[in-house]
Amino acid sequence: MVGRPASRTDLDGILERGMAGPGRLSRPEIVRLLSLEDPGDLRRLRQAAYSVKLRHAGRNVSLRGLIEMGNVCAKNCFYCGIRRGNAKVERYELDAEAVAGMAKWAYDQKYGSVVIQSGEIESAEHTGLVCRILGRLADFSGGELGVTLSLGEQEEEVFRLWREAGAHRYLLRIETSSPELYRRLHPADHDFERRLLCLRRLRALGYQVGTGVMCGLPGQTLEQLADDVLFFRRLDADMLGLGPYIPHPDTPLGASLEIGDSYRARQLDLGLKMISVCRLYLHDVNIAAATALQALADNGRELGLGAGANVIMPNVTDLAHRKKYQLYAGKPCLEESSDRCRGCLALRVAGAGETILWGERGDSPHYRRR
């Protein structure tokens, strides 16, 4: 995915249009930005994106305490470490008391929001479990704690029940907006159109809607990534999770891929460029500095903040379960307690010149404006 370098005048014009307002870049201009390789050009791209972030979110970082409530999954995606067909995974599902306890810890520690994530399950039992969890969170926080669900595709009535029970946001990553690439990443029983329908239903039900893609997939083109950026605007997304693809050895897609230093550098570079381009094109959405960035470089999340991200999702799952929830290889912080992680994160964010919004939900500025 190597592109020609942009001339200084050409690049300045593109960056100025991107900074001027949302939706002002053309598809070829987005591809051009994603193709940048010169260190000076990349620095200018990130500076431009950061200036837009400052305009809409300030020098601030919102936290989402991540709770991995279970790794049982009905899906069999070719890239995912907890896919149904991976027999090496030790499966688990936490009960309502355990999840509520982790969320209460996060709330007491001034995390303004939590993300409850699991493998994709569609059943009456699972729907009821999530409703009970949401009820307990509302009981101890009085509805002050922001709650994001990331529980995969569901029927409209399930989304409605969870919204009424207290969920504020829903993260459903499309992974790629290309139907062709989507088919290459999933078995035949996975329906691209149904995923789109779920996103539209979430919007209609009043959720803050989050989605996202993987960057640097085998065979993925810069043009497809540019189409992803355009898709986010058509969807009117409120928040984005943009993760560089990191292979998992126990998956069909990742089994034959080697992760060397050059691979890590390329994936990190592309992930940061996607953050910056999305900030320049979308302006006021929430963008997460994904944990996968830290898997590629120790300061990956800080680099993500400098590229235009304004959200970090530290893991607050009990240590006993973290190793069982590995979507990709090399996941960081598997043996770092939530207490220690909180202190480390505060130091890292301060070192990056940013301020954590303790005790604030950090709702998307885009959602508030709409």
Q: Is 283 left (phi over 0), alpha (psi -120 to 50) or beta?
A: left
Residue type, 138: A
As its CATH architecture, domain 60-369 has Alpha-Beta Barrel (3.20)
Residue type, 132: R
pLDDT tens, residue order, the chain (370 aa):
444 444 567 999 999 999 999 999 999 999 999 999 999 999 999 999 999 999 999 999 999 999 999 999 999 999 999 999 999 999 999 999 999 999 999 999 999 999 999 999 999 999 999 999 999 999 999 999 999 999 999 999 999 999 999 999 999 999 999 999 999 999 999 999 999 999 999 999 999 999 999 999 999 999 999 999 999 999 999 999 999 999 999 999 999 888 899 999 999 999 999 999 999 999 999 999 999 999 999 999 999 999 999 999 999 999 999 999 999 999 988 888 888 888 889 999 999 999 999 999 999 999 998 8
Spans of all domains in the chain = 60-369
Element (H, E) at 148: strand 146-150
- How far is it, in rounded angstroms, from Cα 189 to Cα 197? 16
Give the contacts of 8 (CB within 8 A, at least 6 positions apart): none
The whole-model pTM stands at 0.95
Is the distance from CB of 168 to CB of 361 less than 8 angstroms? yes
Dihedral of CA 310/312/63/224: which sign? Answer: positive
Q: Which of 315, 312, 317 is nearest to 293 (CA)?
A: 312
